[in-house]
Structure 1
């Protein structure tokens, strides 16, 4: 079972089969913090993602990988303190993450925009014996904290040899990952909106509608209405709905509105749902049911669940989605940091 209460700045330590919470020097930054809290709070999420969290006693750098479920690309989210860290040291640390091969396609997900932009500009680094020794402290939290690879005879906890360390010069070369093998796509930029306490708004639906939890059975219907459905699959969406909460607004038998697209009340007419990153995704109302506040009420109902579980409700919204931004502001969400996704491919 996951812990009942979570500290303000948690990071997940994986020992055996139970996520636990420890306190390295992780800043209280909402997107990273919220994602880590979800791994501890929602049973089954870690078993799907198998995310490893890496950190160093010598740096503010925190990396989670993989950050997506069944992605064809390597995926990660990251954070470091730009004011404290030297770019060359960050390049070295990134190059020593055993789980990543910087010559293969990489997807940076939902990380602070300033850092996403900086990754492609990190300097080429030279070898440094002292730094190589320090990198022994850059560890996956899958390992027992008191045991190093040397203590285990060079084997990880599963009895397998750890992947070879990638030297810093293999990581970045004049703004291109992997000696110029990988080039960045255009960054997809999102403003993160945050709610840390539920506002004093009555969560009530108009007559003829009620709330129900979304389940796997609704996954393909919901996916059909997602603007970015090319980024998912029915199986992936079903898994998301199985382990994470979603709130649907359904027609009741005494409603009179046209139920086209949601026949017999079996499918929702509006909804809000959590993604794997503990952020709201694909909040939507069928066109014929709009202007009744249904998505807003679903968002608040989901926020109540999110706040109870993780203490944060997070909504990433693109700059061209002014209606969604306006709705979240009216509900009590506050703008936080700007985050971004970016792919690196050959």
Structure 2
């Protein structure tokens, strides 16, 4: 069970119970009682989230590490925040040390830079049971989770909310709270696929693959950010400046065509990577891509294994996310030493009148503009 230590309690309380009550708008986003009255235990707890300052993040990281792999996503966000700098996305961390239902409840927000969408990743550790005086333990846990989420400052529950890489037990509660309108308004997007975390085991990795002739390995830089962004299927979840920051600051690996001596002085545009992989804000490896003309040469395996070993040497968990049913990606990573672990999901809740297509259209236009700019450069 997660129990934060005393040094971690230096984080300041965001809102008192009285402040929370006065800042709610009547009739919207209020916690609904169970039956005719709120349970005594919940009345006594009224747990609110506290913000953790930067100096106490190592303590939070250690706590979350003891509960891997269930905590792997939020742990990864903390780890990346401590190791690397990204001025485009300043994530804040909030926690409730111990409530009547949870041993620990942690929220990281924002976790990506999707314009017009609020993003958060949630992890909690259930106690498994609450007081026998409360007949409906599950209902009490739902109420308490609603109370905790409602205490996140500056989160507008009438706007789109994107739950990023959360475990299924988190999202099952979120869905119930949304359906009963205890948090947020609107509906969730359907047809959301389940993915599985695959964790790298160095002992299972091949010793050496061998880079194809005519290529060399290197790291990405800010000069490659637009190129990578325009080839990413899910680029609507990040802004171009954020991608530039991630590429510049987080661990990456890429394959480049080796230049003959006589053309080494060509402009930077001619030195774009032909295969690459990134580190996400969650610490997971991903966005693996190889240009069509350079496929079937083992480049993706080379860059993935090289980055996995690089991150492993830093002492961070090495993992990827593979969609359920994507057998090609599953086999690819298993052959490199990754082992299947917990299921996770991404899910977005949309307010009335807002569609998923509306939220992605601006990013698609940005991608089209970027592609036009690249064509002009070439």
TM-score by length of 2: 0.66
Question: Structure 1: which 5+ runs fail to align?
Answer: 1-9, 123-171, 256-261
Q: Tell me whether 216-225 or 12-21 shows the greater mean CA deviation.
A: 12-21
CA displacement at 1:115 relative to structure 2: 1.6
Provide Cα deviations, 1:70-111, integer angstroms capped at 9, x if missing partner.
642221100123462623222222222224232332111011
Report if the CA contact (8 A) 2:193-2:324 is conserved.
no
User: Corresponding residue for 1:160?
Assistant: none
Quickly say closer, same or farther: Cα 1:16–1:109, change in 2 above 3 A: closer
After TM superposition, the score normalised by the length of structure 1 is 0.71
Report the Cα offset of residue 11 of structure 1: 12
Once superposed, what is the RMSD of the aligned Cα atoms?
3.0
Tell which structure's C-alpha radius of gyration is larger.
2
Q: Which moved more, 1:200-209 or 1:327-336?
A: 200-209
CA distance in 1, matches of 2:114, 2:233: 20
SS at match of 2:195: strand
Which residue in 2 is equivalent to 1:22?
A: 59
Q: Which residue of 2 aligns with 1:110?
A: 165
Q: Matched residues in 2 for 1:105 and 1:311: separation?
A: 32
- 1:173 and 1:191 map into 2 onto residues whose CA distance is 26
- Separation of aligned partners in 1, 2:315 and 2:154: 27
Residue matched to 2:82: 40
For residues 101 and 332 of structure 1, what CA distance do their matches in structure 2 show?
Answer: 42
Residues 234-284 of structure 1: CA distance to partner in whole angstroms, max 9, x if unpaired?
2222122122121110111369xxxxxx99850111111112221222201
2:287 is aligned to: 282
**Distance of 1:18 and 1:88 partners within structure 2:** 31
- TM alignment of 1:1-346, pairs within 5 A: 20-23=57-60, 26=64, 27-28=67-68, 29-42=71-84, 44-45=85-86, 47-58=87-98, 59=102, 60-69=104-113, 71-82=115-126, 84=128, 86-122=141-177, 172=178, 174=180, 177-178=183-184, 181-186=185-190, 187-197=192-202, 199-202=205-208, 204-253=210-259, 266-346=271-351
Please state which structure has a larger fraction of its residues in strand.
Answer: 1
Q: Give, in angstroms, the shift of residue 15 of structure 1.
A: 8.0
Q: How far did 1:302 drift? A: 0.8
Aligned length: 278
Higher helix share: 2
Aligned partners of 1:31 and 1:17: how far apart in 2? Answer: 18
| Cα displacement string for residues 116-160 of structure 1 (whole angstroms, at most 9, x for unaligned residues) | 1321113xxxxxxxxxxxxxxxxxxxxxxxxxxxxxxxxxxxxxx
Which consecutive unaligned segments of at least 5 residues does structure 2 have? 1-7, 12-50, 130-140, 262-266, 352-378
